[in-house]
């Protein structure tokens, strides 16, 4: 078949159906992006860090969720709480450092308090305001400490010690209910004993966050990776399934990776995670932009913070067991880094691919259809790992949250469904 002219190029190819592609504008349109922030990211639970990053009372971590500055602190009672990192006085950011401890005083404030450096208003670890500088002189009886305080956020520590936060006070689900069973595949491994983060780096990539989630959700792109081609592609590799859960989450089933097929890689049977068979691999694509990847001896977690329609920050964490000996930790680090590290074999290739993908989808560029219409079944009629059910499941949830049809975002979700049925 020859290359296409404009009219042919614009036509739906072959017998691909309406729910088997998305419109490229969902990756580039600024209005759609803003809607995603308000309709999805401000509403859902998201992990923001791991409890091992707040190992001692008075330790803290800062981050942003849906553009809102957030601070997570461990109180004197060892409980982890989350607040907006915003002073109720003049809106200043209370803590600028990425992490640290409030145990020592700051130039503007007392030890064991969160202090806004601007006017030295102070807050305890529960977010209560405990000091307003020259309060009665300036506010008389019109405003007291009891009238102000930090904006608390709902916060849970769940699934191996990840700290989950939502900006949505009215959310009617716990983290467990929001997960909808997606963690069943690795919950036993994560909760067996305390975990610890040993790897952190971040990437700001010129691509829409969904492109990274897509890449984590589809395994057809194994052709991108020499490492995957050489260590996988056996019967058990194809026998894995994408399993959809409520709320758009997807679990990718396990298989045994043949690491010794890759030159320079030894078998990884020497160390695994509790309750994970050696060399096995379980993965969760968590809606809307988180990935948990338990492979051999290391757990990887990607947390995406969308920064714009064509810009996403991805924080990469690697975790092992808190009880690791130095030798075990080194093995986990090597296993993690060789594939997933910033100088590893696979991560660079994945990030390269989504970058060049977004390069064809700049804002106001002609819309295109981005296909996810593979239905690849095994001899028993079950979908194989190259079936793109995972992405279809994500976009079904995305369309419902956004009330937009992913294949034509100018249609409501219901209109899109009707068109699909027709």
Partner 1 sequence: MSESMNKQVAISNVIYKASLFLDEHRWDDWLNLCHEDFYYAIKAFSPEINYDMIYMDGNREDMRSITDMLPKHNSDNSPLARHTVVYTVEMDESQDTATAVSSFAVYKTELDGINSHALAGESNIFLVGKYRDKFGFENGEPRFIERVVQLDTRRLDKGSHFPI
> Which position among 256, 349, 396, 415 is part of the footprint of partner 1 (CB under 8 A)?
349
In the complex with partner 1, the residue whose CB is nearer, 257 or 314, is 314
Minimal distance in Å, beta carbon 93 to partner 1? 17
Q: Using CB atoms within 10 A of its CB, is residue 6 exposed (0-12), middle (13-18) or buried (19+)?
A: exposed
- In angstroms, the CA 198 to CA 201 distance is 10
Write down the least CB distance from residue 227 to partner 1, Å.
8
Q: What is the nearest approach in angstroms of partner 1 to the Cβ of residue 338?
A: 8
- Cα distance between residue 58 and residue 53, in whole Å: 12
Calculate the dihedral angle through the C-alpha atoms of 212, 216, 217, 220, rounding to the nearest 10 degrees: 110
Strands 114-115 and 99-101: unpaired
Nearer to partner 1, 56 or 141 (CB): 56
Distance CA 84, CA 237 (A): 44
User: Which residues make beta-bridge pairs with 153?
Assistant: 82
From 4, 76, 98, 103, residue interacting with partner 1 (rule: CB under 8 A) = 98
Q: Determine which residue in the list 36, 53, 218, 408 makes contact with partner 1, applying CB under 8 A.
A: 53
Q: Does 264 bind partner 1 (CB under 8 A)?
A: yes
Residue closer to partner 1, measured from CB, 53 or 282: 53
Closest CB 221 distance from partner 1, rounded Å:
11
Among residues 9 and 200, whose Cβ is nearest to partner 1? 200
Measured from the Cβ of residue 97, the count of other Cβ atoms closer than 10 Å reads: 9
Lay out the site mask for partner 1 across 7-46 (x = CB under 8 A, - = otherwise): ----------------------------------------
Compute the distance between CA of residue 62 and CA of residue 57 in angstroms, rounded to an integer: 15
Torsion of CA 179, 243, 305, 48, to 10 degrees: 30
The minimum distance between CB 60 and partner 1, in angstroms, equals 11
For the chain, the straight-line distance linking the first and the last C-alpha, in angstroms and rounded, comes to 29
Among 4, 67, 90, 201, binds partner 1 (CB under 8 A): 201
Q: Report if residue 224 touches partner 1, rule: CB under 8 A.
A: yes
Stretch that binds partner 1, among 30-38, 103-111, 222-230, 365-373 (CB under 8 A): 222-230
Quote the tokens at residue 23: 């419109």
| Token representation of residue 76 | 């004197």
- Between residue 310 and residue 339, which ones bind partner 1 under the rule CB under 8 A? 317, 330, 333-334, 337-338
Quote the least distance from Cβ 263 to partner 1, whole Å. 6
Near partner 1 by CB under 8 A: residue from 155, 190, 197, 397: 197
From the list 240, 234, 247, 280, the residue with the least C-alpha distance to 400 is 247
Number of residues that bind partner 1 (CB under 8 A): 44
For residue 288, whether the previous peptide bond is cis, meaning omega lies within 30 degrees of 0, is yes
**What stretches of 290-422 show up as alpha helix (H) in DSSP?**
326-340, 347-358, 389-402, 413-421
Taking the least distance from each CB to partner 1, the nearer of 86 and 303 is 303
Q: Could you tell me which stretch among 86-94, 140-148, 153-161, 202-210 binds partner 1 (CB under 8 A)?
A: 202-210
């Amino acid at each position: 078949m020859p290359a296409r002219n404009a009219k042919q190029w614009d036509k739906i190819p072959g017998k691909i159906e309406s729910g088997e592609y998305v419109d490229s504008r969902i990756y580039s349109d600024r209005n759609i992006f803003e809607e995603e922030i308000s309709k999805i990211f401000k509403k859902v639970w998201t992990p923001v860090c791991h409890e091992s990053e707040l190992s001692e009372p008075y330790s803290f971590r800062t981050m942003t969720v849906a553009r809102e500055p957030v601070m997570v602190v461990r109180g004197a009672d060892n409980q982890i709480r989350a607040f907006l990192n915003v002073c109720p006085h003049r809106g200043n950011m209370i803590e600028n450092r990425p992490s640290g401890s409030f145990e020592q005083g700051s130039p503007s404030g007392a030890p064991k308090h969160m202090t806004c450096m601007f006017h030295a208003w102070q807050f305890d670890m529960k977010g209560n305001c405990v000091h307003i500088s020259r309060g009665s002189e300036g506010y008389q009886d019109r405003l007291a400490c009891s009238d102000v305080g930090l904006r608390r956020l709902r916060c849970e520590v769940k699934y191996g010690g990840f700290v989950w936060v939502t900006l949505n006070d009215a959310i009617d689900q716990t983290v467990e209910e929001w997960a909808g069973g997606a963690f069943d595949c690795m919950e036993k491994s994560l909760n067996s004993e305390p975990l610890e983060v040993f790897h952190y780096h971040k990437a700001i990539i010129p691509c829409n966050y969904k492109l990274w989630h897509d890449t984590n959700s589809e395994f057809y792109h194994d052709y991108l990776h020499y490492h995957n081609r050489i260590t996988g592609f056996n019967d058990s590799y194809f026998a894995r399934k994408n399993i959809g859960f409520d709320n758009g989450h997807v679990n990718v089933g396990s298989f045994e990776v043949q690491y010794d097929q890759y030159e320079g890689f030894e078998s990884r049977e020497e160390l695994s995670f509790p309750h994970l068979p050696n060399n096995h691999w379980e993965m969760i694509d968590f809606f809307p932009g988180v990935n948990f990847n338990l492979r051999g001896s290391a757990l990887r977690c990607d947390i995406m913070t969308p920064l714009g329609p064509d810009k996403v920050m991805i924080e990469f964490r690697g975790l092992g067991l808190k009880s690791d000996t130095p030798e075990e930790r080194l093995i986990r680090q090597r296993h993690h880094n060789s594939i997933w590290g910033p100088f590893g074999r696979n991560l660079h290739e994945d990030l390269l691919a989504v970058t060049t993908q977004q390069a064809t989808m700049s804002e106001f560029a002609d819309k295109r259809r981005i296909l996810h219409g593979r239905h690849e079944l095994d001899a028993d009629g079950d979908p194989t790992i190259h079936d793109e059910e995972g992405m279809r499941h994500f976009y079904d949830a995305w369309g419902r949250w956004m009330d937009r049809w992913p294949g034509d975002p100018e249609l409501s979700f219901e209109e899109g469904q009707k068109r699909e049925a027709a």
